[in-house]
Amino acid sequence: MIDFHAINPLYSVAGFLVGGLVGFTGVGGGALMTPILVLLFNFHPATAVGTDLLYASITKTCGTLVHGHNDTVDWRITRRLAAGSIPATIITLLLLFKYGHDNEGAGSLITTVLGIALILTAITLVFRKWILTHLAEYLDGLPDSKIRLLTNLLGAALGVLVSLSSVGAGAIGVTALLLLYPKLPTVRIVGSDIAHAVPLTLVAGAGHWLLGTVDWVLLVSLLLGSIPGIIIGSQLAALVPDRILRPILAGTLAIVGAKLSI
């Protein structure tokens, strides 16, 4: 039973700010929320990751419903990603359960992985066009069987990354999918990535729940702020040039990622 009197308005404010930034940029909340919980509010990395995963599964379910209604989800891609990510997520969670998730070593591992994931996200944000231009030629013309295998491997990598850090399914996943499926409209790539994030974050979040690393009061506090934040951020996004927001966000993620990984 959740004690609503224990809800911290500061967490809701953080949720509102992160929701607004996600509405502006489209980048997943894990890249922003998890480091705030670890660095600003001093939550254990495992608790921050576990709570953020369920937070992401709820918000991205809404996004999937919208994309599905608009027919902007390629369910073939979603299935291929899930075929790799779900087994990898389960294996990662079993390893956390076996070797401990609340000891100093596990906390250090999660923090380091989070830092690396943030740096990779920053790189993909800044150099997405360069990456797509210079790497697309190596993947263009590959048979569908190899594209399917690469998609499975991408899903597996995201499964491990998201389970440990809650980061990776956004900018990193979309950039990789754009390379693998260059002929698909970007909106279908984004929709497919969001749809895949739902089962991924749900399974990973449920695993963290079983591990005892979900703070339910924190989760409710974040959602109370993030839902209106996402709505307002999405409405204002058209007024702020992406060329301004993207470098600012990427720089912030790179700095935070470097601090966490050192």
CA distance 60 to 195: 7
Q: What pLDDT does residue 150 have?
A: 94
Q: Is 252 exposed, middle or buried (0-12, 13-18, 19+ CB in 10 A)?
A: middle
Which region among 28-37, 115-124, 172-181, 229-238 has the lowest average model confidence (pLDDT)?
A: 229-238
Q: What pLDDT does residue 6 have?
A: 67
On whether the pTM is more than 0.75, the answer is yes
Highest mean pLDDT out of 32-46, 117-131, 182-196, 239-253: 32-46
Q: What are the sequence ranges of the domains in the chain? A: 8-261
Confidence of residue 103 (pLDDT cuts 50, 70, 90): low
Position 99 pLDDT exceeds 60? yes
Q: What pLDDT does residue 159 have?
A: 92
Residue 18: HSE in the Cβ half-sphere, 13 Å Cα cutoff: 27
Q: b/e for 126-139, b at 16 or more Cβ within 10 A?
A: bebeebeeeeeeee
Confidence of residue 221 (pLDDT cuts 50, 70, 90): very high
Position 89 pLDDT exceeds 90? yes
Q: What pLDDT does residue 234 have?
A: 66
Confidence of residue 218 (pLDDT cuts 50, 70, 90): very high
Position 2 pLDDT exceeds 60? no
Which region among 50-64, 167-181, 246-260 has the lowest average model confidence (pLDDT)?
A: 246-260
Q: Is 155 left (phi over 0), alpha (psi -120 to 50) or beta?
A: alpha
